[in-house]
A and B are shown apart, each in its own frame.
Chain A
């Protein structure tokens, strides 16, 4: 009962946050909504008995990655967005698209709802299990992912390390 109540509350918070993320004009508000989504998601994980994933969700996504989002917004001093032609088109096409998608997902779930229920704690959520899965069963995908991330980092370094055009360099007068 308590679980159901918590699930509903935080599910609602997650959805509301996601909607707010789209509706807000100011990037920083959108970013904060995304943090709310992440935090409520982590509560959902916790309810499923996956404490480790829940904690990592908060530490990595809410605590580190979103900080970088906020950092970038602050650094670029991004102001309020204006409605442009493109965004109007996006609204026109997007809202029906999302609705169709949601209906599709719901329909599929209803069709296949006979797959049975999952008890709390039955899913692999303990740190030992996750470690085993990551470093044993799915070692190759894990390593491939890490190489992918490495490539991305190197790309970022190369892009950021490009020399500034001479006109922008600080003058050094003797």
Chain B
């Protein structure tokens, strides 16, 4: 079916056959719209500016990642996962590598685990920075975008020095890390942390107490913890609704059990709380990196894995706390070098389900705010 021929399921109200047209308005937001974060298409049913219903049309960025996996060996598929949530490529890689490691029944050495934690948390910061910049831009504040991109650059430089890539890093290998840390890695990270800590305050100064920002975000896009759980919504959105659920704590993976950190939660489940939760998460990430970078253990960076990976017959589900929520990999192995079936549980896709519930009865401008606050990446939604 061509995207253009798509017919919405939203029903218009009774058509008013009089001379004056007071019917509801159907408006297409996207796929080419400055605030739908890529190619999301939202069909809105409006009464004036009030939203009566929404429908998301996705798939404009579908590349069939899960199907591709069935035709690639486990090692060959690794770079593909970077291209799902391209702003949090490191997390994607970590989830995949750990899932396959679980299937193979190997464990990455402690040094690799620490490097993984540092890079993943740095990546969480970049993801949240990008979210903050674009979210603020959607609400009309143009300046935070440039601040966050300036600071994000520093992290990307560290990535580049470590593995040669900035965005789609392909930083980890199944069984550990391919690269040893470069000389001065720890100093670079520490330098970044010192540089970054006051920057969070700078972001907050621009927005947290800004009257217009508060008015635009407080009480907008409400969702309760119960509703979140019913819809499978995870990540900061779930935590802002008051549910203390973070896979790093609940089912610790990598080396997270070694570190002290808190799970910031909100109370109201509105856009403002989600903003606060993500800001607090950046601070917690800084805290985790600080602990990790001081105590990277010595040792090998790769576990003993065969050249050709042939996991035993079986299936595995492994999930991690990606910046956007629970990122899970379900892999079925038939004992060959390629997965029999690979399914990704992408946080963006699941969180996007909540959009309709969060914007009904609110205004067009709130749709923008809610799309921003859900922090979706279309590469991951469509895969």
A and B touch in the complex (CB under 8 A): yes
Q: Which of A47-55, A112-120, A147-155, A165-173 is near enough to bind chain B? A: A165-173
The main secondary structure of chain A at its interface with chain B is loop
Question: How far in angstroms is the closest Cβ of chain A from B347?
Answer: 23
> Once the chains bind, are B53 and A174 in contact (CB under 8 Å)?
no
| Of the residues B13, B20, B21, B360, contact of A171 by C-beta under 8 Å | B360
A9 within 8 A of B: no
Q: Which residue of B lies closest to A171 (CB)?
A: B360
Are B360 and A76 within 8 A (Cβ)? no
Decide if A168 touches B19 in the complex (CB within 8 Å).
no
A168–B21 touching, CB < 8 Å: no
Whether A77 is near chain B, meaning CB under 8 Å from some CB there, is: yes
In the complex, A171 Cα to B13 Cα: how many Å?
Answer: 13
Q: Which residues of chain B are near A78, meaning CB under 8 Å? A: 19-21
Q: Is the CB of B357 within 8 A of A170?
A: no
Separation in Å of the A87 CB from the closest CB of chain B?
A: 12
- Tell me if B22 is interfacial: C-beta within 8 Å of chain A: yes
Number of A residues contacting the other chain (C-beta, 8 Å)?
Answer: 12
B50 at the interface (CB under 8 A from A): yes
* B361 on the A face (CB < 8 A): yes
Bound CA–CA A173/B230 (angstroms): 12
Q: Is the CB of A172 within 8 A of B22?
A: no
- Residue B342 is within 8 A (CB to CB) of chain A in the complex: no
Contact residues in B for A174 (Cβ distance below 8 Å): 227
Is B171's CB within 8 Å of the partner chain A? no
B90 contacts partner chain A, Cβ-Cβ < 8 Å: no
0/1 string, B1-43, CB within 8 A of A gives 1: 0000000000001000001111000000000000000000000
CB-defined contacts of B361 to chain A, threshold 8 Å:
170, 172
**Chain A residues with CB below 8 A from B13, complex form:** 168
Contact A76 B52, CB 8 Å, known A168-B13, A170-B360, A171-B360: no
CA distance A174 to B48 in the complex (A): 24
Q: Interface 1/0s, chain A 67-78, versus B by CB < 8 A? A: 000000001111
Q: Which of A76, A79, A81, A173 contacts B22 (CB 8 A)?
A: A76
User: B20 — nearest CB in chain A belongs to which residue?
Assistant: A76
| A76 and B357 contacting across the interface, CB-CB below 8 Å | no
Which residues of B have CB within 8 Å of A75? 48
| Smallest CB separation, B331 vs chain A (Å) | 35
Q: Which residues of A contact B52 (CB under 8 A)?
A: 170
| Known contacts A170-B360, A170-B361, A172-B360; A76 and B50 CB within 8 A of each other | no
**Scoring B residues 43 to 55 as 1 if CB is less than 8 Å from chain A, else 0, what string do you get?**
0000010111100
A170 to B49, CA, bound (A): 13
Beyond contacts A76-B20, A170-B51: 13 other A-B pairs, Cβ-Cβ < 8 A, are: A76-B21, A76-B22, A78-B19, A78-B21, A79-B19, A79-B21, A81-B19, A170-B50, A170-B52, A170-B53, A170-B360, A171-B360, A173-B357
**Chain B contact residues, CB within 8 Å of chain A:** 13, 19-22, 48, 50-53, 227, 357, 360-361
A interface residue numbers (CB < 8 A to B): 75-79, 81, 168, 170-174
Can you list 13 contacts pairing A with B, beta carbon distance less than 8 Å?
A: A75-B48, A76-B21, A78-B19, A78-B20, A81-B19, A170-B50, A170-B52, A170-B53, A170-B360, A172-B360, A172-B361, A173-B360, A174-B227
Closest 3 CB pairs of A and B: A77-B21, A76-B20, A170-B361
